Amino acid sequence: MIQLIDPALDAYSEKHSHQPIPLLQELEAYTYKHCKWPQMVTGSVQGALLRMLVQLTHAKRILEVGLFTGYSALTMAEVLPEDGSITSCEIDEGNAAVARSFIDRSPHGHKINICMGPALETIAGLDGQYDLIFLDADKENYCSYYDQLLPILRSGGLLIADNVLWSGRVLEPKEETDHAVVAFNDKVSNDPTVEVVLLTVRDGVSLIRKK
């Protein structure tokens, strides 16, 4: 696994970015103490990036694929207007229970609607278009999600895909998941209907704008 950035620079970046509110700090600490694979939590720098993008795009309808313990959903909800909404897909009841316990304590929690079940099925049943979509679930299905999500992203809307560097494994893919992330990145960069920038933030974040 490649360390993408010097940990000291990571800490510097964290210190000089927007600071998360105490509830989010508590959520991150709780996740590290009690949950399996806590490193999946979005964390403060990527959280600051998400809230910046929500504000810059003036997004009102957000779809999230992969709620986990709710860090990214709560971060985005904080800067959404009162009539904004986040639909968040999650398959694991334990993760959703933790997320709910923190969402219930947030004054912005009412903007978040959790949809339980396999996200491909949930998305197939959604109505309307979204301004911003955050893709952060099972990497094996990233290409299938892309095919499903682009039609429900409005023109000019933003799709944010996480873990697109997959800890550097995209350079020498071995496992099925590695190949899935490579296939996703190739698909997006060859798609003339979108414009993309792959940022080397954390585990790689692609910003994909639908033309």
Ligand X SMILES: C[S@@+](CC[C@H](N)C(=O)[O-])C[C@H]1O[C@@H](n2cnc3c(N)ncnc32)[C@H](O)[C@@H]1O
In the complex, the smallest distance separating the C-beta of residue 94 from ligand X, rounded to whole angstroms, is 9
Q: Is 63 in the site for ligand X (CB under 6 A)?
A: no
- 3-state secondary structure labels for all residues of the chain: CCCCCCHHHHHHHHHCCCCCCHHHHHHHHHHHHHCCCHHHCCCHHHHHHHHHHHHHHCCCEEEEECCCCCHHHHHHHHHCCCCCEEEEEECCHHHHHHHHHHHCCCCCHHHEEEEECCHHHHHHCCCCCEEEEEECCCHHHHHHHHHHHHHHEEEEEEEEEECCCHHHHHHCCCCHHHHHHHHHHHHHHCCCCEEEEEECCCCCEEEEEEC
Q: Is 44 in the site for ligand X (CB under 6 A)?
A: no
The single residue among 49, 63, 119, 160 that binds ligand X, judged by CB under 6 A, is 119
The single residue among 20, 24, 42, 103 that binds ligand X, judged by CB under 6 A, is 42
The single residue among 48, 53, 63, 89 that binds ligand X, judged by CB under 6 A, is 89
Q: Is 98 in the site for ligand X (CB under 6 A)?
A: no
Contact string (CB under 6 A) for ligand X, positions 140-159, x = contact = --------------------
- Chain contacts with ligand X (rule: CB under 6 A): 40-42, 66-69, 71-72, 89-92, 95, 118-119, 136-138
